[in-house]
Amino acid sequence: MKKRRIAILTSGGDCSGLNAVIRAVTKKAIHEYAYEVVGIKDGFEGLIFKSWRMLGEADVSGILTMGGTILGTTNRANPYKYPIETRTKVSYKDLSSRVLRNLHQLKIDCLVTIGGDGTLDTAHRLACQGVPIVGVPKTVDNDVKGTDITFGFDTAVHVATEGIDRLHTTAESHHRIMILEVMGRRAGWIALYAGLAGGGDIILIPEIPYNVPLLAKHIKDRRRRGKNFTILVVAEGAKPVGGQVTVQRIVKDASAPVRLGGVSFLLGQELERLTGIETRNCVMGHLQRGGSPSPFDRILATQLGSKAVDLIAQGRFGYMVAVKESRLTHVPLAEVAQGSRLVPTDHPLIKDARALGACFGDEK
């Protein structure tokens, strides 16, 4: 009988836990099902330009604790909109037919795609063209539809919370407003969780536009009550009422060209002007993506990778492995491709934070 061959790739931004999934998929596929495993290099770019290698036990030994991905990744290789750069301009070309052809030449029985909403949307489109695919949800932002949590998120929250803890001493010593900017383009999960865990006095998320004068009033009220410092946690995608997100730069050859960042600088200037209180900001940036995964993320990534191999063995393609109500399950990629999973404005953690005196920049 022909030995089944599966391929695995990591696409989009990196995060802690990717190697744990690669390890779980490879080891279980070999041990339990005697599959061959092919590692695709640098996400979908490896399928476009035929860049891959066979994976064995030795290749995934010792990578559980490593951040990043041994396969490499990129967020500029959408096969349906691949950037072609000339001397004068950047144009985009649909290279999906090349991906299909290369998968056929490799004799792949199933492709495991590990990534966020962009990666899984591409996976859904390939599945609609007949590619046997199983998706694994990854993103520090925790905003993939169809699952309650993604690996990488817990590690990012740990890093952001430690940042808040460290800012507390400076804020209190110098009687300052300290602003910590964390990741979260469309969804404020990191800001919400880290803000609550770190005792943030103000938490700003993309789902709730903030009122700057109201923030200034809240800070002044705190000072009148004897609170001579304020810790503010803001997601990079947060925006003022009636305003826009803060764009750091535009990357022309990327499938998602807008890069956010810098909201903490602008907000800090406004708050210092309105309150007269010295204000400093700190941008966590890619610190939230790197480093060794937390124990929770290692376990979650391992479980998701193991579940993905079970779906392959059962012939259940076109699905993403997921966590629903603390239970491993799977959901159709068509559901995942419907957009981002945002923080509900009536989320219990928002209610808890408000009850403890935290401000979200609105009138509530």
For the chain, the residue count is 364
Q: Which pLDDT score, from 0 to 100, does residue 255 have?
A: 57
Q: Which pLDDT score, from 0 to 100, does residue 84 have?
A: 86
Q: For residues 47 and 153, is the Cβ–Cβ distance under 8 A? A: no
CB atoms under 10 Å from CB of 252, counted, come to: 10
Instruction: For residue range 108-166, list pLDDT tens digits in order.
Output: 999 999 999 999 999 999 999 999 999 999 999 999 999 999 999 999 999 999 999 99
Q: Which pLDDT score, from 0 to 100, does residue 251 have?
A: 64
Number of H helices, E strands in the chain: 12, 15
**Stretch 205-213: mean pLDDT:** 97
Say yes or no to pLDDT of 2 above 80. no
**Stretch 263-288: mean pLDDT:** 93
**Alpha-carbon distance 78 to 292, whole Å?**
28
Residue 259's pLDDT band (cuts 50, 70, 90) = low
Kindly list the catalytic residues.
141
Task: Delineate the domains of the chain, giving CATH numbers in brackets.
Answer: 5-151+293-336 (3.40.50.450), 155-289 (3.40.50.460)
Of 148 and 290, the structure prediction assigns the larger pLDDT to 148
| Listed residue (98, 108, 135, 142) closest to 120, CA to CA | 135
**H or E element at residue 8:** strand 5-10
DSSP per residue, 55-78: E-HHHHTT-TT--S-TT---SS--
**Alpha-carbon distance 24 to 139, whole Å?**
18
Instruction: For residue range 292-340, list pLDDT tens digits in order.
Output: 999 999 999 999 999 999 999 999 999 999 999 999 999 999 999 998 9
What's the number of CA atoms in the CB half-sphere (13 Å) around residue 359? 21
Of 245 and 165, the structure prediction assigns the larger pLDDT to 165
